[in-house]
Amino acid sequence: MGIRVDENMEKVLDEFAQKGNLTTGAIVEFTGLSRPTITKRLDRLYAADHIEYLHEPTALWRLTDDPRNE
């Protein structure tokens, strides 16, 4: 399932590429984007099997497949 990679998605993917596993809060902090914006991007990545939840209580995510490589 392909996803649209807009400017905000690029920011999220860049943070994963630079820093590895990240919490939702860390992505908000590093990108300067709002939590709802980040949550929408993470939901899209998760639905398309590009990220996985590593630790639910802390909302720790890992990028498993960068959609920019498709």
CATH label of the domain that carries residue 30: 1.10.10.10
pLDDT digits (tens, 9 = 90+) for 29-65: 999 999 999 999 999 999 999 999 999 899 999 999 9
Q: Which pLDDT score is estimated for 28?
A: 98
pLDDT exceeds cutoff 70 at 12 = yes
Residue type, 11: K
Helix (H/G/I), strand (E/B), else coil: 47? helix
| Residue 18 in domain | yes
Distance CA 18, CA 68 (A): 15
Q: Which pLDDT score is estimated for 70?
A: 78
pTM, full prediction = 0.92
Please state the domain count of the chain. Answer: 1
Q: Are 5 and 37 in contact (CB under 8 A)?
A: no
| Residue 49 in domain | yes
| Residue 23 in domain | yes
Structural domain including 34 reads 7-69
| Residue 63 in domain | yes
CA dihedral 11, 13, 15, 20 (to 10 degrees): 170
* Alpha carbon distance, N-terminus to C-terminus of the chain: 10
